Amino acid sequence: MANIWCVFDDKVDHNETLVLQDYEYSCGESDCTAFGAGATCDHLSFIEKVSYGYNMLYQMSNQDQRKCNLLGATITTNNPSTPDCDFPIEILTVEVVDGESTLTK
């Protein structure tokens, strides 16, 4: 899979309540456990956490661009990781690795 990430574009003014809803949705559908107390990404700013949540949903959906259709989301080739927090890429499902469809299982 390509080295691309789905992140929050904080350059544009967005309704914070709606961004928070999309952030909560993305973390609810993916894995944002890295924000737990003492975890590797617990120090991130709100904007960085939104980017992390958006990216996790995107990566866990095999980089499906429809999963990056969140408020303020954008695709980037610039790695958004911080020195202490890696933004993962290339999370592959069995279907992608084996080339099988979920319909054939």
pTM of the model: 0.83
- Split into its structural domains, the chain has a count of 1
> Domain holding 32: CATH number?
1.20.58
Alpha helix stretches (DSSP H) within the chain:
16-28, 46-60, 94-98
Q: How confident is the model at residue 104 (pLDDT cuts 50, 70, 90)?
A: very low
Q: Is the pLDDT of residue 61 over 60?
A: yes
Q: How confident is the model at residue 91 (pLDDT cuts 50, 70, 90)?
A: low
Query: Residue for token digits 């866990």?
Result: 60
Mean pLDDT of 5-24: 91
Q: How far apart are CA 5 and CA 30, in angstroms?
A: 14
Stretch 23-49: mean pLDDT? 93
| Domain that includes residue 12, residue range | 5-104
